[in-house]
Amino acid sequence: MARFLFGYDIGVISGCLIMPDFINRFGEMGPDGQMFLSSSRQSIITSLLSAGGALAQAFTSDRFGRRGSILIWSAIFTVGVAIQTGTTFSIVQITIGRFIAGLGVGALSAIVPLYNGETAPKALRGTLLVLYQLQIIIGYILDLATHSVPNSASWRVPVGLQLVWGLILLSGIFFLPESPRHLLGTGRDAEARKVVAELNGVPEDDPLVDEIIEELDFAIKAENEGGKATWMECFSTRNSLWKRTVNGMMLQFIQQLNGQNFYCHSNKRTLQAGLVGHFTLAPANTAKELLTRRNKQGGDTLIAFAVLHVFSFSVFWGPTPWVYLGESFPLRVRPKSIALGSATNCIGPLILLIFFGMLLFGYVYVYLFIPETKGLSLEEVDELYRSGIKPWNSSDFKPHLTDEIHNKVRPEKEVSENSEKQAE
C-alpha cells in the first residue's frame, strides 16, 4: 500500500497538469490571454521532495519501532493530502501539501522494505519485496476518468482519494506484528518469540521458533558489541558495510536513470505525445483524414516500444533494487543504510543522463558487485559479506552460521540441563 501511494500520487499529479480547471487555478496568464502551467510551476508541483522523508525514517524506525514509524509517516502523508485537497487557488498551499505528503511517502518508501525484509520468511521475502515494486506500477497506471469534469472535482476527486489510501494504511498497520528483529534488539524477547511463531504458523514452543530466535539473538548480540550505530558506520570497512551501502545506493540511482521516469513523472503528457505521434510527422492541427499511413505507423512504433520499456522495467530493474535493500544490511545499521538507498532513489530523477548508457553500466555493475542473496536469512547474508566471496561466485555460497550457532548453543544447553539434574 505504501508504494501504491507513491505510484498513485505520481500518476494522479501528472494527470492534473493537463486538466483545464487545475491549470486555471494554479497556472499563469500567457501573452495570448490563456492560462498555462510553466515548467517551473510544474516542477514545483510534481516534486515530492521525498528524499528528506527517506532519511528521517531512520530516526523513527529504531525509536518507535517499525510499526510505530509506519503509523507516524502514514499520518503525515494523510495530512499533506488533506492540505492539497483543500487548496483553492494558492500555489503555495498545494506546494506545502505536496511537500508534507512527499515526506510521508519518502519515509514509507524506506521503512516498508525494512519491515518486509525483517518479518517475511526468507522463502517469501524476495516475492514480497517484488510485490512492493508492483504496487508502484499499479499506482502509476491507475487514474480516474475525471479529466472532462468542468470544475475542481476533476482533480480534487483523484487527489482526495489518497486520503482513503492513507487511512487504509493507517488502520491496517494495527493488525500487523512488530518486527521480531526490532523486538529482540530492544530486549522484548517474549514478544519476539510470539511474533516469530505467528509469522511461521507454528506454536511458540515449536523447535523452529527456538532455532530462529537463537540465530537472531546470536547475530544481534554480535552486532551490538560496538555500541550505538552512526551514519558513518554505514560506510565502514567492517563486514563490508561500505560496499553494501554503496551497492544499495547505486542500484537505486541506476534504477531511476534508465528512462522509466520519462513515462512515470509525466505519463499523461507522454500519452498525449504518443497519441500525437500516432498522428504526427505532420503539421499541427492537421485533419485526421489527411494523415498518411506512415504517420500512424510511426506513432504505433513509439507506443509499442514505450509499453515494452515499462514492462521490462517492471520485471527487472523495478523490483530488484528493493529486494537488495531489504536483504543486505545487518540490524545495527539497517534503517540508516536503507534510508540512504531510498533517498538516492528520490534524488536520481533530478539528474537525467543518457538512458541506454546507464542501463549498460547497470548490467556491468550488478555482475561485478552485487552478490546473490536468494535463499539466505538476513544473518546469513551478513556471513556472505564477511566471507569475501566474489559476487559472480556468490550463487554457490554455502552458509555456516547455523552450524556455528548450534555448536555453541547445544553445549551450553547440555551444561544447563546437567546442572539442573545434579541439583535435583
pLDDT digits (tens, 9 = 90+) for 126-150: 676 666 666 666 655 555 566 677 7
Q: Which residues of 102-124 are buried (b: 16+ CB within 10 A; e: fewer)?
A: bbbbbbbbbbbbbbbbbbbebee
C-beta of residue 384 within 8 angstroms of C-beta of residue 397 = yes
The per-residue pLDDT for 91 is: 86
Residue 205: φ, ψ to 5°: -95, 10
pLDDT of residue 373: 82
Residue 107 has a pLDDT of 83
What's the pLDDT score for residue 114? 78
Tens-level pLDDT at each residue, the chain (424 residues): 666 676 677 667 777 877 888 888 888 888 888 888 887 777 777 765 555 666 777 778 878 888 888 888 889 989 998 998 888 888 888 888 888 888 888 788 778 777 877 787 766 766 766 666 666 666 555 555 666 777 888 888 888 888 888 888 888 888 888 888 888 888 888 888 888 888 888 888 888 888 888 888 877 777 666 667 778 878 888 777 888 888 888 888 777 776 666 665 554 555 554 444 444 455 555 566 665 666 666 667 777 777 787 777 777 777 778 777 777 787 778 778 877 877 776 665 555 545 656 777 888 888 888 888 887 877 788 888 888 888 888 888 887 766 666 666 555 555 555 555 555 5
C-beta separation of 102 from 53 below 8 A: yes
DSSP H or E segment with residue 110:
helix 91-119
Predicted local confidence at residue 182, as pLDDT: 84
> For residue 278, what pLDDT is reported?
47
Report yes or no: 330 and 382 within 8 Å, Cβ to Cβ: yes
* 423: exposed, middle or buried (Cβ count in 10 Å: 0-12, 13-18, 19+): exposed
Q: Model-level pTM? A: 0.64
| DSSP per-residue codes, 208-225 | HHHHHHHHHHHHHHHHGG
